[in-house]
Amino acid sequence: MLYPARLARIAMNHPDALAASLCGILVFLGWSALQLSWLGLALLLLPTAYLIGGFGSAREGLTTLLQEQELDVDLLMIVAALGAAFLGLWRREYYLIVDGAVLILIFAISGALEGYAMQRTERSIRSLMSLTTDAARVVVDGQEQLIPIAELRVGDRIRVKPGELIPTDAVILAGETALNEAAITGESLPVEKTIGAEVFAGTLNGYGALLLKVHQSPESSLLQRIIRVVEQAQTEKPKSQQFIERFERGYARVVVLVGLLLALLPPFLWGWSWETTIYRALIFLVVASPCALVAAIMPTLLSGIANGARQGILFKSGAQLELIGKVRAIAFDKTGTLTTGKPQVYKVIPFGEYAAAEVVDLAAALEAYSEHPIGQAIYQHATNVLPITALSVTSVQAEPGQGITGLKGTIPVCVGKATFVQARVPTIPADLLTYTHHLEKDGKTVVWVAEADTVLGLIAIADTIRPDAIAAIAQLKQMGIEAIIMLTGDNQQTANSVAQSIGIDHVYAELLPEKKLQIIQKLQQHYQIVAMVGDGINDAPALAQATVGIAMGVAGSDVALETADIVLMTDRLEKIATAIRLGQRSQAVVIQNLIFALSFILLLMTANFIGNITLPLGVIGHEGSTVLVILSGLRLLRG
């Protein structure tokens, strides 16, 4: 039940949708009243439907006319609807009032859909803003003061505790930690930071307390630049939208001009009576109304959107369903999109007489005390993959960014980077050094495991490729996509290794969000219609700039999901090819419908000019062509 307060909230948040709904209800009730010969009630309900459903279009049409001296389809629709109502009252053919109300209802629904699309920008910006903190802990004369972020100045010193968000871009003065920079770079592995390193607003502090120095104003922080870029990219109108608006206004001018000429010239040129002339002119406005043209597009696209939803593909607008079918280049983010975004044990390399289980067993015993993602990956591998024996270690100590040590009984053991272990083991096998070099060149993270003065072996860690990535890329190439590109904030070696494994030829690595955006812009200059596939906050500017932004629904961040035009609800990359085929099919049906609609409008207008059409026949032809076009668009619900 809709209580007054709830109804008020709906009206405030979705006024266009509410107006379209009320208009539809009133049109149905008015039509029902006419069927029951309740003329008085019908003449009360139908004008109310005109007022509620047509107010927005009338206001926009009159604003465009008065401020820009331009005619648009909104004003034409109002004139045609009022013309139909006038004829209905004049000739006592009251069903024509219903016809005008239906014209208004169609445009009211279109306006509601457009209003929904416009709200996505605000939601995206709100999601980005949630990553920032409201205040920072500033250190003044040894005392901490909590002040708003906006009041921070260059040179201020701020303290950040473990587990807190970094409030603004700054440089570390004291402390060391591992920062989760997934919000900025999209990479899943924490980045070790120490004195002198730069940290970014919106990133999550790890285990260490930090003293930071603000080196630029909060308004210039990387996260704030991302917010501004998303806002700008989403508010800029694409060329296709500008062309459609110009076409609508040109169409309206032609129809109004021809309608005026038809209302004035026939008595002088052909000797028509003024009654016949006005009658023909109003019939022209009705049959030339672009209902069939509108129906040629939206029902088709909505059917395609419903089809995609059944297959786990969420299209946020009909325009993107059309554009995805025309895509010539696709850019992919790496981590979380082409890869799982979670580090896993890639390979265990035991040395000498030791077995793989012994290497993992010892490493897991130490990493059980670690919260580092690499340590957790080793521990999970040990518990879920290999049948290990529980070892007991004591005196465990971690050196951030280096490794972890402990005692197995009285024997020292350690796990960590090569340099960390080499400092504790007198003799390092040359074979293991060579193996480490090859693994790191291939984009893997290598962990050494040692006991006393002996190296037991190596454990290679990697972000694993999604199982469907290789097949999805091959499928896109078979479909004729001209360029497939990978964009990542990861290092060049790792990026090249992943791209080679998947079958991607073009790679851009070590990118910050702004650089990804610039690359998308360059691709658009060459390929025009470019899609971007991503999952992280760092992908938001590129997703917003791309002609079609595609987000991973399960792994994607809130900002990526809000910014993108298409969401893959099941994170299955092969659905991109499905979306492209659906877009191509919808494009073909739209073209067929447009040709049919324009042909029928021309046929009706020609019949009206030569006097072989009556108003009821014109209405039947107009509404009949609209129904046929809608049924044609519903074909996309199949398959």
- In this prediction, residues 16-40 reach a mean pLDDT of 86
| DSSP single-letter state for residue 150 | G
What is the mean pLDDT of the segment spanning 610-616?
67
Task: Tell me the pTM.
Answer: 0.60
What is the four-CA torsion angle of 201, 207, 213, 214, rounded to 10 degrees? 10
Residue type, 597: A
Q: Is residue 440 part of a domain?
A: yes
pLDDT tier at 117 (50, 70, 90 boundaries)?
Answer: very low
| 278 in any annotated domain | no
Q: Which of 250-259, 585-594, 618-627 has the lowest mean pLDDT?
A: 618-627
* Stronger pLDDT, 535 or 397, i.e. the higher one: 397
For the chain, what is the domain count?
2
Identify whether 585 is part of a domain. Answer: no
Residue with tokens 């993107």: 320
Question: Is position 431 annotated as part of the catalytic site?
Answer: no
Assess if residue 197 is contained within a domain.
yes
Domain of 369, CATH number, reads: 3.40.1110.10
Q: What is the 3-state secondary structure (H, E, C) of 520-563?
A: HHHHHHHHCCEEEEECCHHHHHHHHHCCEEEEECCCCCHHHHHH
pLDDT at 275 over 80: no
Q: Between residues 275 and 362, which one has the greater pLDDT?
A: 362
Residues of the chain above pLDDT 70, percent:
79
Tokens of 118: 């416009």
**180: pLDDT strictly greater than 60:** yes
pLDDT score recorded for residue 185:
54
203, 220, 237: which is the final residue of a domain? 220
- Choosing from 16, 74, 169, 333, the catalytic residue is 333
| Model confidence pLDDT, tens digit, residues 510-551 | 887 788 889 999 999 999 899 999 876 777 788 888 989 888
Residue length of the chain: 639
Last residue of a domain, one of 448, 464, 480: 464
Which pLDDT tens digit goes with each residue over 471-485? Answer: 999 999 999 999 999
* Residue 34 banded pLDDT, cuts 50, 70, 90: confident
In-domain check, residue 173:
yes
pLDDT at 59 over 70: yes
- Residue 183 or 269, more confident: 269
Residue 325 lies in a domain: no
The pLDDT > 90 percentage for the chain reads 13
> Is 438 a domain residue?
yes
Q: Which residue has the higher pLDDT, 443 or 359?
A: 359
Residue 386 in domain: yes
Give residue 370's domain range: 342-464
Domain boundary among 464, 481, 505: 464
CATH number at residue 148: 2.70.150.10
What confidence tier does 442 reach under pLDDT thresholds 50, 70, 90? confident
**238 — pLDDT class (breaks 50, 70, 90):** very low
- Please say whether the beta carbons of 144 and 159 come within 8 A: yes
Chain position carrying tokens 């930690």: 177
